[in-house]
Structures are given as structure tokens and as C-alpha cells.
Structure 1
Amino acid sequence: MTAPPTHLPVDDRAVIWSLPEPERQQALADRPLLVMLHGFGSNERDLAGLFQALGPQYLMASLRAPLPLPGMSGSYAWFPLDPERLAAPDAALPTDAATRGVLRWLEHTHAQVRSAGPVGLLGFSQGAAMCLQMLRHQPEAFACAALLSGFVVPGPHGGDEALAQVRPPVFTGVDPADPIIPPAARERLEAFAREHTTLSARTYPGVGHGISSAGLHDVVSFLEEHLPRI
């Protein structure tokens, strides 16, 4: 039986950046970096559509998840999920392999400059769960995280105690009637975030499993406060 991978690399060629390559290296030193992680079954183009709305003060990078979904062209996942239980994954799933992949990509990206700026995270759905996993691994590495229609991978993690000590700012936004995120998953996320982070929680009735203009406005305000210009 083949052991599960311990590291799922990010395809650097698939990353969509908010700035062209000639401007990127200087921006890594001069601007905050916002790393964006899409949801299950989507791809890097999804959240890249938010670049303009989020503003030019950040260097933004929208990453592609490492696992292509069989029979679904252009669809990727950060870790395997039962389609019937998207917001209630098994705690034993290999979430850390993709997390290590993103952290190594970030380390490689920062190696291009002598002194990199602060880093924020923005994730949607499964990408939001990934943002929390990254905070659980390296809570001091990130200025803040915005989680939209997200959930938390259940079960304890070795980094939870350190995360609760650092308590980075975290924003959560979800529709209470989200058809993908059931109430139990939403409550579990809020309880975890209140215990381990400095939480700003918002609800957006009627949005479903998506991002509303009101939610995006609140994310912009959150980032302006916690991911300021250098």
C-alpha cells in the first residue's frame, strides 16, 4: 500500500498574479502579499476575479490546488473530500500535505527578495479551511486571514496551542443557510476561531455558497485594518 504524500507542491506556473513578472520582485518588498486559495472543484482563475475589487495596494497571488478532480477538466482540490460531506471532512485526511506545499511555495517566493512584506490569506470554502491549516502550522507567519463560506478541519492539530497564543486576526463570512456549509460546520468554525484567533464574524443571509458585494466590502475593510501598506 502506497503511503500518502507528505508534500503536495504548488504549480508555480499556474499561479495568477495581480502584477506582471517585471514588477513582482519589487512589489514583494514594497507591498503586503495576499495569498488566495480557491474552493473545492474550482481553480486559480476563480478568486483572481477579485483582484480589482481588493485594490492595488497588495501584491496578490491566486494559487491552484494540487489535486485535479477526475473527469472534471479545470477542477482541483486541496485535499480529498466526499462530495456529500464537503464541509465535514475526516480529520485523518491529508490536509497537511497541501498545506506544506503552499508554505514551501511561499518560502520560495520570499527567497526572491532580501526583505519581504507581511502576508495575508484569503480563502473560499475548502480554501478557507486551508487558510486555517496554514495558521495552525505557522501562526506567526501571517498578518491575518479572511475566510469566506469556510469550515475548519476537525480534530486537534499540533499547532493549535501556538495559534491560541498568537491569536492572529481572522474574518469569517457565511450565509447561515449556506447549502454546502451546514449549521454544525459553521458553529464548529466559529467556536474554533473564537478560541484560537481574534475573530471578526459576519453573516450574509441569502448569499448561499458564494461571495456577496457586502461580504467583499467587509473583507476589504478587514484587510485595510490588518494588512496595511508597508
Structure 2
Amino acid sequence: MADTVEIDRSAVRWARRGESLPLLVLLHGYGSDERDLFSLVPFLPEGLTVAALPAPLSAPWPMPGRSWYPIEELERRDPASVTAAADAVLRWLDAGAADAPTIALLGFSQGASVALQSLRRDPERIAAVVNLSGYAAPGELTEDPALRLRRTPVFWGRGTNDDVIPPALVAHTAQWLPDHSELSGRVYQGLTHSVSEDELADVHRFLERWRDGARPQAEG
């Protein structure tokens, strides 16, 4: 069983914070921090509150930045450390976003695996997930049958030249996501373990659809 980890609430970065706006939570990759994906805010749709979270662990020296879980556990069949990070995100939502009308998560690499695991842990709370260069953790969670029925929208983007995520995990994700979500996405020719302009444009359209569907209908 993995140790309990917590998000540093004082380090969370906010943009476009407003009452009753859909909330998009950004989860960075290994060796980075909350400032990394926060730089994507200009490329995201208007009409959203955006929060960029710091991962709870320091990456081991000499790697800079932070980590959601130990990198050596990338290929473990036991996803306990990924689940512990996801539970930390959900606890942060309890404390810092209890009034958000609807919530989506956008993660890169490690952050994407935590985003998907957060969805698996609480399918009713997370309304959409953007998975950039990430993967679905192996193993079964007790909430997976409910998620399979719910068909939450998930966008999965990855590059043909991404050699960071092991092929076995890519293959697992390619089987798991269509069975547990309403999957859309794209494989980008020549893209490495990174994010491209074309991918950001696709993410923008995906989030617009989520945002517009999330907004309550005006009373006539």
C-alpha cells in the first residue's frame, strides 16, 4: 500500500478564477512543476477556471521538479502509487474546488496517468479527461464498472516517436480506454514525448465541447 501524499495548496496556480465556471485542473509531468502546463493557459478555451497543481513528491536528485509517484514504478502491475496521487488530487478538489459546477482534468505523461486514475476513483465527479502522452494504469479498481457505464469523454493524444511510455502500457491503454470511456484522440506523426500545436488545437476543440455541454441552459 502506498503512503498518503498531499498537494501543496499554497503552490497551486490559478487563472480566470470566477464563480460558477467549469474548472480545468492541470497535472504536469515528471520532473516538472505547476508552472509548466500553466503556460498552456493562452491556448485553452475562454470561460474556464484553470488550476495547475504541483505534484506531491520531489523528483529524486539530480532530476529537477516534482513527481506524482516514483518513476521506477512506471511498469509495475500494482498501481497503488498512482492511486495515492489520484486520491491526493481528489482531496484537493474537496478542499479547493468544492463549488465547481463541473470538473475536467488535463495531464501530461505522469500527470495524465494520475488524471485517468482520478477519473477511475471518482467517475461521478470528473466530467472529462485530456490524456497527453500518458497511459491508463494497469489493474482493476472497484469503480471501473461504474466508469464503463458512464462513458466519460476522454481525449488521448500521443506521438509516433514517443519512446518514453513503454509499448506495453500504450497497448494496454489502447485496449482499456475504448472500453471505459467515450474516447477521441489522435496519433501525431513524428511527435516525441511532447505537445504540438496541432495537438493543442485538438485539445482546444475537445474542451470547448466539454465546456459548452457543461454550462447550464439559460432560463427563458
**Does TM, normalized by the shorter one, top 0.5?**
yes
Q: Would you say the 8 A contact 1:119–1:227 is kept in 2? A: no
Q: Give the Å deviation of 1:43.
A: 0.7
Count of matched residue pairs: 214
Distance 1:209 1:4 in 2: 27
SS at structure 2 position matched to 1:203? strand
- Aligned match of 2:143: 159
- Aligned match of 1:168: 152
Code of the aligned partner of 1:80: P
Q: Give the Å deviation of 1:41.
A: 1.3
Distance 1:18 1:69 in 2: 26
Distance 1:125 1:81 in 2: 11
CA offset digits 1:178-223 (Å, max 9, x no partner): 1112333222112110010010021001110000000000000001
Distance 1:64 1:173 in 2: 22
Code of the aligned partner of 2:161: A
Distance 2:61 2:10 in 1: 22
Counterpart check, 1:76 vs 2:60: no
Code of the aligned partner of 1:8: V
Q: 1:142 to 1:179 in 2, by over 3 A?
A: same
- Aligned match of 1:8: 5
Q: Give the Å deviation of 1:92.
A: 4.5
Q: Give unpaired runs (5+ residues) of structure 1.
A: none
Code of the aligned partner of 2:49: L
Q: 2:102 aligns with which of 113, 118, 124?
A: 118
Distance 1:218 1:158 in 2: 32
Distance 2:76 2:193 in 1: 17
Distance 1:223 1:99 in 2: 21
Q: 1:59 aligns with which of 30, 35, 49?
A: 49
Code of the aligned partner of 2:184: S
SS at structure 2 position matched to 1:30? coil
Distance 1:59 1:213 in 2: 22
Q: 2:92 aligns with which of 105, 124, 138?
A: 105
Distance 1:71 1:183 in 2: 27
Between the aligned residues of both structures, percent identity stands at: 40
**RMSD (Å), alpha carbons:** 1.7
TM-score, normalisation: structure 1: 0.87
- Aligned match of 1:131: 115
Q: Would you say the 8 A contact 1:122–1:145 is kept in 2? A: yes
Q: Would you say the 8 A contact 1:15–1:61 is kept in 2? A: yes
Distance 2:79 2:199 in 1: 32
Code of the aligned partner of 1:44: E
Distance 1:178 1:162 in 2: 31
Q: 2:166 aligns with which of 165, 171, 182?
A: 182
- Aligned match of 2:14: 17
Distance 1:174 1:227 in 2: 23
Code of the aligned partner of 2:159: D
SS at structure 2 position matched to 1:108? helix
Q: Would you say the 8 A contact 1:79–1:93 is kept in 2? A: no
Q: Give unpaired runs (5+ residues) of structure 2.
A: 216-220
Code of the aligned partner of 1:120: A
TM-score, normalisation: structure 2: 0.91
SS at structure 2 position matched to 1:224? helix
CA offset digits 1:107-139 (Å, max 9, x no partner): 11234x4xx321111000011100110111111
Q: Give the Å deviation of 1:106.
A: 0.5
Counterpart check, 1:205 vs 2:202: no
